[in-house]
Amino acid sequence: MKSKGILSQQLELYFMDNINKAILLELQRNSRLSMRKLAALIHMTAPAVTERVRRLEEQGIITGYTIRIDQQKINPIIEAYVETFMKSSHHQEFLKFVQAQKEIRECHRISGNACYLLKIEVPDQGTLNTFLEALLTYANYRLNIVIASTVKDA
């Protein structure tokens, strides 16, 4: 086994050829594929593809195997994007608030008008109201309720 210098190790770290791209694409479409079937899809053998998948995991490119769930079928929710304008510069406290509030699904620090863009999900208007009152402690906001969405698959 050949030893490698630091540089080549780093270059290799995020090396991404067409085969790896194909692997990611197929696993994204169906993560339950066995290594054999995956190998067949990309015209390779199981051991080779297994090793590549192992590396993709090791490098943190594949960060998990999960399912897509139709949340709306389970319990309908109200989605909203909330632009927040910090009242003071207590960002640390605000970020703690973000972590604590389960209604907040995403928090994006953005340039431009607002300080943060929050994506929230609440079961009903009452919960929304409570949440917004809590938010007011930290920031003024502009509420954008989602009426319809199109999300493209990766």
Partner DNA sequence: GGTGAAAACTAGTCGGC
Partner DNA sequence: GCCGACTAGTTTTCACC
For DNA, the binding residues (CB under 7 A) are 19, 34-37, 43-48, 50-52
| Residue 48 binds which entry of DNA, its own copies, none, CB below 5-8 Å type-dependent | DNA
Least distance from C-beta 1 to its own copies, angstroms? Answer: 25
Give residues with Cβ within 8 angstroms of 33, minimum separation 6.
26, 27, 41
| Residue 106 binds which entry of DNA, its own copies, none, CB below 5-8 Å type-dependent | its own copies
DSSP code of residue 134: H
From the list 68, 88, 92, 100, which residue makes contact with its own copies (rule: CB under 8 A)?
Answer: 68
Phi-psi group of 60: left, alpha or beta (phi > 0 → left; psi -120 to 50 → alpha; rest → beta): left
In contact, 143 and 135? CB cutoff 8 Å: no
Tell me how far apart the alpha carbons of residues 74 and 93 are, in angstroms, rounded to a whole number: 33
Tell me how far apart the alpha carbons of residues 101 and 99 are, in angstroms, rounded to a whole number: 6
112 binds its own copies (CB under 8 A): yes
Q: Considering the complex, state which of residue 65 and residue 73 has its C-beta at the smaller distance from DNA.
A: 65
50 binds its own copies (CB under 8 A): no
Binding site for its own copies (CB under 8 A): 14, 16, 24, 27-32, 59-71, 73-75, 79-81, 98-99, 104-114, 117, 142-152, 154
